Chain A
């Protein structure tokens, strides 16, 4: 198990836009540099990229939830 952490505070989104599916779902493979979500702050949406490789397990942060820097966003199986 390994976790992806938020690089900055803001609002976390699991999906690229409200109508689309989440970036990743259970069983998806994740490579280093893959986008797993968005953080909205200062009128900007910042892509959160994975710094680890593995298989996507689940999101740990709720869609549209307030988050702080360092919060766990998603869990991967190594």
Chain B
């Protein structure tokens, strides 16, 4: 069983939940930018929540199936077509050998997830099938899919059509977003006024945003607290002596454009990070389109942890609904 890629869209890659555990040697966690969407799609078709599926950004691919299968599409809002007929998102449906899946223009959100019963069965690299293109690791030959590729699928069983994630449990992309931030180790490097401005200003997603990082523009530049730059730090006040970056951390090179480090980010470097997007909001970040308005909201650890619990509860409820 294989998927024939007829058209790969803009950037379509194989992703599962990533390969945590290698960030200290510079290999990012990788994996789906919107984990809950991938997990939902997998459970809809009877796969393990962490099975490998397809992540497509901004444009859907065109795919031909070589064998009957159950599939589901989740994430961004985009019209889904099977042999030209509309199908619903967040709902399982069956495809027959020879049928073609295609997509119309994206409406909201940025990334769709396609799960196929049996899951994608490419070789595992460092514990994951996720594609890390910069390192040419995992996925299909370490790269994004291209027209003509035949992607292997594991043995799966058909599931009943119409299995669905209850609407209240779907997290849909929105036209504007509020992202919650926990200030971090280097927060003291910016002035009190700059810290306030960062949270007051409206920011917009820059078109450069990708799997490595989401860049923002439109807010006021940051002012730094004066200091003699320590040995090993560069001369720019946004520089530090090299440190570790975390998933979700926000660096602001030159104090002008914040960048949220996402699944394929570098693991360390010499920019200060003012804090981190809380883990519960990282899936939302992966669904932001360029030019979307965003505000950052300051939270404390207690609120971050309670948001993490809420997110976990949603996953538990989806799991129960699809059991």
What residues make up the interface of A, taking CB atoms closer than 8 Å to B? 5-11, 40-44, 46, 66, 68-70
Contacts and interface: CB of A to CB of B under 8 A. Distances in A.
Nearest to B211: A42
Given A40-B207, A42-B208, A10 B105 contact: no
16 contacts: A9-B58, A9-B289, A10-B290, A11-B207, A40-B207, A41-B10, A41-B207, A42-B10, A42-B11, A42-B57, A42-B208, A42-B210, A43-B208, A43-B210, A66-B291, A69-B107
A69 B105 CA distance: 6
B58 A69 contact: yes
Contacts of A6: 105
B43 interface: no
B59 interface: yes
B104 to A, nearest CB: 8
Interface in B154-180: none
Contacts of A69: 58-59, 105-107
A42 B289 contact: no
Nearest to A5: B105
Contacts of A66: 290-291
Nearest to A41: B207
Contacts of A70: 105-107
Contacts of B276: none
A4 B11 CA distance: 22
Interface of B: 10-11, 57-59, 105-107, 110, 207-210, 289-291
A41 B105 contact: no
Most chain B Cβ neighbours within 10 Å, of A8, A40, A43: A8
A11 B289 CA distance: 11
Nearest to B289: A9
Contact of A9 (B11, B106, B208, B210): B106
A61 B268 CA distance: 40
Nearest to A70: B105
A8 B58 contact: yes
Contacts of B105: 5-7, 69-70
A8 B10 contact: yes
B207 A10 contact: yes
Nearest to A42: B210
Nearest to B210: A42
Nearest to A43: B208
Contacts of A68: 106, 289
B289 to A, nearest CB: 5
Contacts of B59: 7-8, 69
Given A7-B105, A69-B106, A41 B58 contact: yes
A7 B8 CA distance: 13
Contacts of A43: 208, 210
Nearest to A68: B289
A15 to B, nearest CB: 17
Contacts of B106: 8-9, 68-70
